[in-house]
Amino acid sequence: MNGLGDFLEWQKNLSTKIEKINARLLETVYCEQEELYSWARYTIEAGGKRFRPLLTILAYEIGCDRPYESILDLAAGYELIHTASLIHDDIIDNASFRRGLPTLNVKIGVNNAIVVADYLFAKAYELGSRYGPVVSKVMADASTKLAEGQILEAINLGNLSLPEETYLKIIENKTARFFAACALGATIAAGAPENVRKNLTDFAYNLGMAFQITDDILDIVGDQKKIGKPVLTDIRHSAITLPIIVALRNASSAKRKVLTDALRGAQDMIEPDLLRSVFIETNAIDYSFDMARKYTEKAMESLRGTGKSPDLNLLMELAMIVIERIEAMS
Ligand code: GRG
């Protein structure tokens, strides 16, 4: 296993599905207003891993025998909400790069970027509504939690005594519940039995927790070229993530000062390697990695009793890849 290679291999196995997701996304955002269409297309064609729609499709296939084409609208809907929330996030953070390309706020300005994200939200809910009120509510609740997570994070920016539980609440709302909603919406649409719904939803939730923790680790030790966005952005924005909480807790007073100065805005005057050394020496990376691994194990555990199928194997592989990407991308 070598992480990045495994991920590319995993994606290759799913390339037909990814192509269909991309086609559905483009069809969905088509409109007569040329600029709106081209800007929406820009964000979609910028790519992304398509984890959420793939999770939706695999959960659906595990939940019923019908062809996955019938869940493509829901899969695309989730990806559109995710993309719209990233546009808003980039506006909030004044970010310049995403998915290896200039962000929409840089390319077309903040005002237009807000409207493109609103447009994607509207299209997403229309797609979700095709599956009836129960699935629509699952989708809407996931967006509500996204907003809650974002605000909980925002009001705690620079809070050097942020408890680990609050961090976990933030990432639960920002990421894990959204992953869980993909699986829940898909298995409800599939008419899957209750135990399958629960197992897949638990799997997705735990995978989401592991995914966000690894994202926060990669923000510190990741290679900018490999992850397609700048690193050390959490420190730059004073966002307190798990590795930062642990480093603050364990650092000597001299090293703590390096980190607190950086969190208070002096980051550009501090050597990135010195900053990274604080995380390594305090075991903050190892601690966070262990936590991510525990969530991955819980995710795998959740799938026990769901039977055996090629799609289940793909989900198991995905869980492993989430953890292995740290090695591959740093
Ligand atoms: C949804 C109502 C509503 C408001 C939006 C701005 C905001 C509120 C939420 C943003 C939450 C946020 C930034 C979550 C980050 C989740 C995350 C792990 C993003 C990166 O996901 P990847 O790595 O991205 O799957 P790609 O580019 O591969 O799709």
Angle ∠(292,83,56) on CA atoms, nearest 5: 65
pLDDT value for 267: 66
Closest atom of ligand 1 to CA, residue 175:
16
* Tally of domains within the chain: 1
Domain assignment present for 328: no
DSSP structural state of residue 264: I
Of 311, 304, 302, nearest to 62 by C-alpha is 311
User: What value does the mean pLDDT take over residues 18-36?
Assistant: 98
Cα separation, 291 vs 288, in Å, equals: 5
pLDDT tens for each residue of 239-270? 999 999 999 999 999 999 999 999 998 767 77
pLDDT tens for each residue of 168-209? 999 999 999 999 999 999 999 999 999 999 999 999 999 999
Domain assignment present for 109: yes
Closest atom of ligand 1 to CA, residue 86:
13
CA of 312 to the centre of ligand 1 (A): 25
Return the amino acid letter for 283. N
The lowest-confidence range among 154-158, 202-206, 275-279 is: 275-279
Domain assignment present for 56: yes
Cβ atoms 312, 201 nearer than 8 A: no
Domain assignment present for 121: yes
DSSP 242-266: HHHHHHHHH--HHHHHHHHHIIIII
Q: How far apart are the first and last CA of the chain?
A: 16
Tell me which of 150, 155, 227, 322 to substitute to probe ligand 1's pocket, judged by most ligand atoms within 8 Å of the beta carbon.
Answer: 150
CA of 158 to the centre of ligand 1 (A): 20
pLDDT value for 270: 76
Domain assignment present for 330: no
User: What range defines the domain where residue 133 resides?
Assistant: 4-323
Domain assignment present for 329: no
Of 43, 146, 50, nearest to 103 by C-alpha is 43
Domain assignment present for 108: yes
pLDDT tens for each residue of 65-90? 999 999 999 999 999 999 999 999 99
Domain assignment present for 27: yes
pLDDT value for 329: 72
Task: List pocket residues of ligand 1, CB cut-off 6 Å.
Answer: 48-49, 51, 85, 88-89, 99, 143, 146-147, 150, 174-175, 212, 215
